[in-house]
């Protein structure tokens, strides 16, 4: 078990594009394990590899329904729109309203290299879209309206 440091806004790695994973080796599996430890420790519902300083197309999500790992995720379809109040472990204490698709279909590899397609809606769709933005160097504050700072 290893907790990695979560990069905070202002760190330029959060603004860089990521690379596809070509080989899912032990290092990648260790990264996935560490990302989960780091997400749970920080009580997040999702985490993207750049948030722990790795420029790889890897995200994890757990909205309370179990951990899902996505390697090289691609959104195949997006439908509808919904506005959510959003935050991010890399932008502490800041929240804002972000419009996300209501439903998505996403394709990715699991840690065994098997491709899967997942249909998600509402909160799960929001969480996946938020994390996938990180892979393009996009933060929710780029899209949000009504940003507010909440001291906790």
Give how many residues touch Zn ion by CB under 5 A: 1
Complex with Zn ion: residue 61 or 88, whichever CB lies closer:
88
Cα separation, 49 vs 2, whole angstroms: 14
Spell out the SS3 assignment of 53-114: CCCECEEEECCCCCCEEEEEEEEEEEECCEEEEEEECCEEEEEEEEEECCEEEEEEECCCCC
Minimum CB separation of residue 114 from Zn ion in Å reads 26
Per rule CB under 5 A, is residue 88 in the interface with Zn ion? yes
Q: Stretches 5-13, 52-60, 87-95, 116-124: which one binds Zn ion (CB under 5 A)?
A: 87-95
131 is catalytic: yes
Residue 76 and residue 106 in contact, taking contact as beta carbons nearer than 8 Å:
yes
The single residue of 9, 43, 122, 131 carrying the catalytic annotation is 131
Cα separation, 45 vs 38, whole angstroms: 11
Complex with Zn ion: residue 88 or 129, whichever CB lies closer:
88
Per rule CB under 5 A, is residue 98 in the interface with Zn ion? no
Q: Stretches 12-20, 84-92, 102-110, 118-126: which one binds Zn ion (CB under 5 A)?
A: 84-92
Cα separation, 9 vs 51, whole angstroms: 9
Minimum CB separation of residue 111 from Zn ion in Å reads 21
Binding site for Zn ion (CB under 5 A): 88
Q: Which residues are catalytic?
A: 131
């Amino acid at each position: 078990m290893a907790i990695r440091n979560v990069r905070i806004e202002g760190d330029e790695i959060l603004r860089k594009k990521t690379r596809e994973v070509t080989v899912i080796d032990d290092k990648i599996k260790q990264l996935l394990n560490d990302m989960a430890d780091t997400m749970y420790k920080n009580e997040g519902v999702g985490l993207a590899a750049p948030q722990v300083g790795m420029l790889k197309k890897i995200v994890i999500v757990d909205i309370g329904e179990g951990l899902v790992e996505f390697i090289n995720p691609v959104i195949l379809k997006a439908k509808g729109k919904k506005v959510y109040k959003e935050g991010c472990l890399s932008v502490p204490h800041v929240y804002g309203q972000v419009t996300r698709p209501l439903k998505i279909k996403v394709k990715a590899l699991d840690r065994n290299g098997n491709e899967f397609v997942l249909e998600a809606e509402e909160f799960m769709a929001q969480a996946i879209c938020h994390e996938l933005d990180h892979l393009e160097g996009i933060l929710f504050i780029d899209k949000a309206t009504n940003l507010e700072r909440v001291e906790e």
